[in-house]
A = this chain, B = another copy of it.
Amino acid sequence: MIDPAEATVDGRPTPTLEEVAREAGVSRSTVSRVINDLPGVSARAREAVNRAIERLRYVPNEAARSLVTRRTNSIALVVSEPGDRVFGDPFFAGVLRGIHAGLAGSKRQLVLMLAGDDAGDEGEALENYLCSGHVDGALVVSMHGSDPLPGRLATAGVPVVAGGRPLGGAGVPYVDADNFTGGLLAARHLVSGGRRRIATIAGPEDMAVGIDRLVGWRRGLSEADLPTDAVVHSDFSVDGGAAAMAELLRRHPGIDGVFAAADIIAVGALRELTRQGRRVPEDVAVVGFDDSVFATSVTPALTTVRQPVEEFGRTLTWRLLAQLAGERHLPPSILLPTELVVRGSA
C-alpha cells in the first residue's frame, strides 16, 4: 500500500504554504493573502510570492483550507434512480449540460453521485458523505416516491434544491417543468386533430413527472368529454414504451391517439405500432415529451412537448447558488414553461 503521506511531486514532497513563505521571504499570512486575493499586500510581496508558488509548483491543500473555512467549493448532483439506466436518457444529458453551464464562473465543482438501487447500506453512505462536509450543497434529481433524502439533508443543514417536484412535499425548494400544462397541450392537440380514442403511456407512478403529465392529459380529454381510461405506466426506456404500447393495444384495440410521457417511450411505442402494422400518424397519432434527440431520429419525426431541459439545469444551479450566497426571498418553487412542437407523428 502506498503511504499517501509520502505523496510527492517529481520525487519531492508536496510543498506547503510554509515553504512558499520561506522561499518568498515573507510570512505565511502574506502568502495566504496572495492566494486568496485579499487586499493589503504590496506589489513587491505579491510578486515574490507568485514567483515562489511557480517555482515550487505549489497547490493549496483543500482539506486544510476547507477545515477552517467550512467550505468545499463543490456541490453534489444526486441522481436517486433505482435502476441505473439514468444516463441513457437524453433528458439527463441536457440537465447536466445546464448545470455545468450554470456553474461556469462560480469556481465550484460538480460532484456526481448515483444513489444505487435500494436504500440499504448505500443510501446511508450517501447521506453520510453529503453530511460530512464534502459539499456545500446538493441538487437532487429523479426522485421516486417520497424520497426522504432531500428532507434529511435539509434537516442536517445541507442546502438542497430538488429537480422535479418532490412527492409528499419534502419541504425543500424545487425546480420543475410545467408538466401539467405539457400533458394538457398534448391531449388538446390530439383532440383537435380529430382523435377520439386517446390513450397515454404515463411515466412511473411514483414520480411527480409521471403523475403531473398524466393529470394534464386527463384534463385535456375531460374538456372534450372523452374517456380517460386508457392509461398504462412505463419507465423511461424504449423497451418499456414498446411493452406499454402492446399492453395498450391489447386492452384498447380502437386507439387512434397516444400521448407518451417521454420521447424515449414514444420511440418504443412507435416500434410496437409499426410491428403491429399500424401506420403513424394515419391510424394512430403519437405525441411525445421532451423534444430530445430521439424526436427527430425516428420516422415519422415526433410531435412532442418541449421542455427547456438545459434551462432546467441552469435554473436548478442558480437556485442553489443563490441560496448558498445567502440571498433572501427566494421562490420556494420554480416552474418552467412547456410548449408543443408539431412534427409528423401527430
Contact = CB atoms under 8 A, between A and B. Distances in A.
Interface string A86-130: 111010110011001000100101111110100000100100110
B71 A4 contact: yes
A326 B110 CA distance: 28
A66 B9 CA distance: 19
Given A9-B157, A85-B93, A88-B93, A63 B66 contact: yes
A307 to B, nearest CB: 16
A258 to B, nearest CB: 17
Nearest to A77: B112
Contact of A100 (B72, B84, B100, B298): B84
Could you say how many copies of this chain the assembly holds? Answer: 2
Interface string A42-76: 00000000000000010111111011011110100
A96 B87 contact: yes
A59 B107 CA distance: 26
A324 interface: yes
A330 interface: no
A69 B4 contact: yes
Contact of A131 (B59, B72, B86, B97): B59
Given A62-B134, A87-B87, A93-B85, A109 B111 contact: yes
Given A4-B70, A59-B131, 7 more contacts: A59-B156, A62-B129, A63-B72, A74-B111, A85-B93, A88-B93, A109-B134
Interface of A: 1-2, 4-5, 7-10, 14, 57, 59-64, 66-67, 69-72, 74, 77, 84-88, 90, 92-93, 96-97, 100, 104, 107, 109-114, 116, 122, 125, 128-129, 131-134, 136, 155-157, 238, 267-268, 271, 274, 293-294, 296-299, 324-326
| 4 nearest A-B residue pairs (beta carbon) | A112-B112, A87-B93, A4-B70, A63-B67
19 contacts: A1-B326, A2-B326, A4-B69, A9-B155, A10-B155, A59-B128, A59-B156, A61-B133, A62-B132, A62-B134, A63-B64, A74-B111, A87-B92, A87-B93, A88-B90, A109-B129, A238-B297, A294-B297, A297-B298
